[in-house]
Structures are given as C-alpha cells and as structure tokens.
Amino acid sequence: MSAPILKVNDVRVYYHTEAGAVKAVDGVTLDVPRGMKMGLVGESGCGKSTLAMAFMRLIKPPGRIETGQIELDGTDLVAISEEHMRRVRLNEISLIPQGAMNSLSPVARVRKQIIDGIRDHDGRMTQAELNDRVEEVLEAVDLRPEVADMFPHELSGGMKQRVCVAIAISLRPKVIIADEPTSALDVVVQRQVMETIQRLQQELGISMILIGHDMGLMAQSVERLAVMYSGRLAELADVDAIFEEPLHPYTQLLISTLPVLGARGVFRGIPGITPSLLTPPPGCLFHPRCPEAQEICQQKVPAWQEIRPGRWVACHKYEV
C-alpha cells in the first residue's frame, strides 16, 4: 500500500483567551490515504473547521498550533517557513472554505479571481496560457466559458460555489479540503455540486477531505470517515463499517438520530450539550452525555487506539 498523502500526528490547536486556553483541537492523529475521499464529521464547534485551517496553516491569533506534525506527502507543514507554506497552499493543498461563495470578491470578474490565484504561484504563465487554464477549469466544474467575464452577483449560489471549486483545483493540488461545501445551497443544487466535486476528485486523482455535520451526506460521499467530538477524534473507519457497526457511543447516537423515510414519531436528537472547551470535564469528554458511561470514564481520557486494522476508536469499552 502506498504511503498516506496526509499524515496527521497528535495535532493540538489552542486559542489563548483571557479566561484560559480553549482546546479546539486536542491531540488528533489520523492518516488520509492517497486518492481517497475522507469525511470528518461532528456537531458544530467540535473543532473540524479549526483542524481544516490547521492543515492549511491558517490559524489566526489568539489561536496557534501547539504541537504535532501535519505531513503532506512527506513535508511537515507545521515545520516549514511561511514563504514555503504560501507556495504549498493551492499548489499542493487547497481549501474550499465554509461559505466559500461569499468569499469571492464582488468587484472582480471570475477570470481575474481564478488568474490571481494561479499567478501568485506561477508567474511564468502567459496571458494566453492563463486564459486557457481559466476555460479549462470552468469546463471542469460544468460552467460555460462566458462565466469567466461575469461578476459574482450575476451568478446563482450553485454557480458561485462551482467557481470556488474551480479556484481550488486550478493548480491541481494533491489534497482538497471541502468544508461544508454545499451547506448554503438548496438540496438539488447541493447534490449537483457534490457530484461535480466527486467527479473531479476521481478524474484528477485528488485526495479529498470532506468536512460536515450531515451523516447522510457522508454515507453517500466518502470512503473513510472520522468522527470528531469536542476537539478529539472518537472513531475512524471505512464508512461502511461505521454505518454497519458503529463502535463509539457518540457515533451510535449520531446514526440513530438520522431520519428514516416513512418513519413517524418525534425527531430524536442527542441529549445534552457539547462541553465547554475552556473548562472541559475530566476523563472522556463525552461522559456527561454517554448512556454507557462507567466510573473510569469520568477519570481517565480514553486512548486513541487501532483496535483492528483500519479501525480506530477512543472509548474505554474497547480498551484491553
């Protein structure tokens, strides 16, 4: 098996506030296999977007990466200079951020916005080559060439999101991180944009990390799935295995709350609220909400363990 494209080891991202350190990401370890679609799922505030920003090394003060390694194809992104990281962004790893379509400049035409990103990394391309590349990436995301000369306000939400995907793939990176890429779109457009992202991922052989809170979307879109809870990973496995036999009580609850077609009754959520990351409870962070909590769960943080090949979980139930 080839080496993973992304190796993440014990990454911690803390926000230093006057009240103390908020541990937004607290010891995340995972591998993203080459060419794979990997999902990262969890409730809002669980640290998944912070982790994505750490992969791009875009954490802003008062936040910082405290410890850990983020190796992209053998290069530790935490250790390289800012100038080196600037070259890596877009070229080797790119991000479609949450609400990406609102990040487009309202006063620049689509062509300029795509070209600016490319020029920043490759100043040697001629204007003709740049125009060809703009057409190529617009076609790749199913947009007509005329879109290049339009302003964002002339485009629908789905088209704007496609422009963001075009920018993200414009330099053919090895990894794309898509942070809730379709959350602001209606269901039909959401599906079309997801299909485009998936097709590109396969055609270009890009590895993808899809971030979101929707277990249903993950089931349809990814091959491996990491479940995150309050800054730590709870479970990681092939997506089929997670849905057939979820191990972590949090994953079990996430799946049990999925609506079932035809089922009547009251919609059930997960009882309780996520803990404060400023004053987290001791032991397993999920223990105040866990129906299977034991005494040890209140005292000791469960270890992140590979209990079977490719099957990771952090729960005292599975510790030997």
Site for ligand SF4, rule CB under 6 A: 248-249, 284, 286-287, 290, 292-294, 297, 302, 315-317
Query: Residue 128 contacts by C-beta under 8 Å, 6 or more apart in sequence?
Result: none
- Between 161 and 251, name the residue whose CB sits nearer to ligand SF4: 251
Antiparallel, parallel or unpaired: β 207-212 and 175-179:
parallel
Q: How far is the CB of 77 from ligand SF4 (least distance, A)?
A: 31
List of residues 6+ apart from 46 with CB closer than 8 A: 228, 229, 230, 231, 274
CB 27 to ligand SF4: min, Å? 15
Peptide bond into 281 cis (omega under 30): no
Q: What is the nearest approach in angstroms of ligand SF4 to the Cβ of residue 318?
A: 8
HSE on the CB side for 74, CA within 13 Å?
2
Coil, helix or strand at residue 176: strand
CB nearer to ligand SF4: pick between 11 and 297: 297
The values of phi and psi at residue 26, to 5°, are: -135, 75
CB of 316 to ligand SF4, least distance (A): 4
Report the alpha-carbon distance of residue 24 to residue 168 in Å, rounded.
Answer: 26
Q: How many alpha carbons lie under 13 Å from residue 95 in its C-beta half-sphere?
A: 19
Select 246 or 302, whichever has its Cβ closest to ligand SF4: 302
- What's the closest the beta carbon of residue 292 comes to ligand SF4, in angstroms? 4
CA-closest candidate to residue 114, choices 128, 131, 95, 101: 131
Nearer to ligand SF4, 209 or 290 (CB): 290
Q: Which is nearer to ligand SF4, 203 or 292 (CB)?
A: 292
Q: Least distance from C-beta 303 to ligand SF4, angstroms? A: 10
Nearer to ligand SF4, 136 or 306 (CB): 306
Helices (H), the chain: 48-55, 82-88, 110-121, 127-140, 157-169, 187-204, 215-221, 239-244, 249-256
